[in-house]
Amino acid sequence: MSLEASSQTITLKVSAKDNPVEFPSGVTPLNVLQSHSGLPNDAVAARLNGSILSLTQPITEDGELQFLTFNDPEGKEVVFHSTAHLMAQAVTELFPGVKLAIGPPIAEGFYYDFEVERPFTPEDLQQIEERMEKRANDKLPVERFVMSREEALDYYKKANQNYKVELIEDFEDSSFSFYRQGDFVDMCRGPHVPHTGYLKHFKLLNCAGAYWRGDENRAMLQRIYGVAAGNRKELKDYLQKLEEAKERDHRKLGRELDLYSIHDEAGPGLIFWHPHGARIRNIIETFWRDEHYRRGYELVYIPHILRENLFIKSGHLENFRENMYSPMQVDNIDYYAKPMNCPGHILIFQSHLRSYRDLPIRYGELGTVYRYERSGVLHGLLRVRGFTQDDAHIFCRPDQLEEEITGVIDLADFMMNAFGFDYRLCLSTRPAKSIGSDEVWEHATETLRRALEKNGKPYDTEEGGGAFYGPKIDVLLLDALGRTWQGPTFQLDFNFPERFNIDYIDSDGSKKRCVMIHRTVLGSMERFLGNLIEHYKGAFPAWLSPVQIKVLPITDDQHDYARKLHQRLKSENLRSELDDRNEKIGYKIREAESLKIPFMFVVGKKEAEETTVAVRERGRKDHGVMSLVEALHFVRKATEIPRSSLQMD
């Protein structure tokens, strides 16, 4: 449009350094870009007064106009979403009669679900990608238009697109927005890039089966995943990162290192720990228990099933039922496999009358819980149906609350540092589905906010991300590839104390209400171990490694010395294995490297005669020959367990 096309004007601030500028009403962000210097020439979308706009969307109100590039999260989402449409266009052209489902942007790219006569092959993906490149080069305008509800239903029914019909029927909107590029039309809220020429750097990654709406009782669709980038280098770097992620995949490494398995005959999402995996888990759990005792926690155990009335009282059946398994009947009473440990810890607290002097009371448990997850979202150790979480509940007086929260943040910080993770903090507020009054939630949220600010570390805020019973602080782990994982979490709860009448006797003899803190400082053991495997690529720090030293005799003549050495290491509480197979020493060393053993003690004729060892470290580092005393000192120093400076309460 011409900037002189309208007699009405609007005022837009388009640069932090410049004063607001008048423009004709109906001007588009693209018009502004073309008429105003100093703005980003790689913009893909815009933000006006908090709303995200297409560059071709007319503006009819005053405000601050910001331009978004691929480096902005919202700009990246627009590119991902637009590329998903480009892929769907290519699929409809190459596979006539295909039925379209949904194609959203996701954190690391995009996908689109299709119903086709047969699964897509790698050759199909190559063809689709080539057609996408052709349509990108065509620079097809991407145009938005609106249909009424009736028009949209009629359009998709005639096109035999039943998934789109179902989506429309699920919404009460009177009209729906659509986007057209060439002959391809898709229902979508948008926004999108102005034309397909903006989409230059993309790659289709793989195809997988996906149930419609995640429901295993619905149709199985074909989901194509892809990624887009702002330039060729970014795409190359991202694809390299994906290759590295494949090498770090805990499912692959779990098999290679023989850590765990999952068996369909036993049930999906249920983990079987093998000896080496169980050893790592036991090391972590022992470390966890010792540190909790040092910090004044008492460890408890509760049953795996509990009566229905507890979950009615807690609100779990009302607010968490979709994640719980069906009940089992015992003596005509319904029992549930526990999805959380908190009701059981409350019963232990209430087994005695508590004085204000007794508080705070901190109960910890490595408690196994069971939650239903759809089969389509199960993912190795990271998404399971039965898991053990390092759960704890703190019962305290209101005046102790801030100190207790600070203590939990400090414990989480120590744990993350001990295991080598960077992290960031996030405050999550009241969700739509929750219990309790607004006043209680506001007080709890502000208490957590004060504790975070006192801690001095930066934090994000996620509106509506809290638990149904209280706001929470999430600790998000950052692994070696910069990916974010859910880690420790702690919730402040004024609601359960009200529901369960959790009281203490105050100094004046009156009953007062406790406050509860729910918290984990690792999360679930399964997910945390999956994160550890990927973070370290299976090469755990020596203190965590299931096998710390592999003793490798060069010939049969050194077997007696190697066995004695192996036994000595075990007596020193070092985790040793002996490889006395009739294999060449080079083969044994390569295998120990592939199994990511931190240290190898190689012994030949001279070492056996002189009671020495040739010390080799993972990563092909040769430390030469040492006396046994020197070697033990060297390894002990490398395998020291991290310790906090806190003293036992």
Active-site hit among 223, 295, 518, 616: 518
The mean pLDDT of 132-148, rounded to a whole number, is 96
What pLDDT shows up at residue 647? 53
Q: What is the per-residue burial (b if ≥16 Cβ within 10 Å, else e) of 47-85?
A: bbeeebbbbbbebeebbebbbbbbebeebbbbbbbbbbb
Active-site hit among 188, 207, 342, 396: 342
Q: What Cα–Cα distance (Å) separates residue 347 from each residue in 303, 343, 505?
A: 12, 6, 17
The mean pLDDT of 364-375, rounded to a whole number, is 92
- Integer-rounded Cα Rg, in Å, for the chain is 30
d(CA 415, CA 419): 6
Query: Is residue 41 scored above 90 in pLDDT?
Result: no
What pLDDT shows up at residue 7? 59
Query: Is residue 2 scored above 60 in pLDDT?
Result: no
Q: What is the mean pLDDT of the chain?
A: 92
| 628 confidence band (pLDDT: 50, 70, 90) | very high
Is 304 assigned a catalytic role? Answer: no
Active-site hit among 276, 362, 393, 616: 393
The mean pLDDT of 135-164, rounded to a whole number, is 96
Active-site hit among 76, 203, 371, 430: 371
Beta bridge partners of 204: 226
Which token pair is 301?
Answer: 């155990």
What pLDDT shows up at residue 274? 97
Query: Is residue 1 scored above 50 in pLDDT?
Result: no
Active-site hit among 430, 472, 535, 588: 472
Which token pair is 216?
Answer: 């295993």
Contact present, 416 and 410 (Cβ < 8 Å):
no
| 3 confidence band (pLDDT: 50, 70, 90) | very low
Convert the pLDDT of each residue in 189-220 to its tens digit. 999 999 999 999 999 999 999 889 877 788 99
The mean pLDDT of 230-247, rounded to a whole number, is 91
What pLDDT shows up at residue 506? 96
Active-site hit among 66, 161, 181, 389: 389
Convert the pLDDT of each residue in 94-122 to its tens digit. 999 999 999 999 988 999 999 999 999 99
Which token pair is 215?
Answer: 């429901």
Q: What Cα–Cα distance (Å) separates residue 295 from each residue in 136, 404, 407, 452, 528?
A: 60, 11, 9, 20, 21
What pLDDT shows up at residue 402? 86
Is 393 assigned a catalytic role? Answer: yes
Is 342 assigned a catalytic role? Answer: yes
Convert the pLDDT of each residue in 57-78 to its tens digit. 999 999 999 999 999 999 999 9
Convert the pLDDT of each residue in 514-547 to its tens digit. 999 999 999 899 999 999 999 999 999 999 999 9
Among the listed ranges 101-105, 403-407, 490-494, 510-514, which one has the minimum average pLDDT value? 490-494
Active-site hit among 72, 186, 390, 391: 391
Query: Is residue 4 scored above 70 in pLDDT?
Result: no
What pLDDT shows up at residue 16? 67
d(CA 444, CA 191): 37
Is 472 assigned a catalytic role? Answer: yes
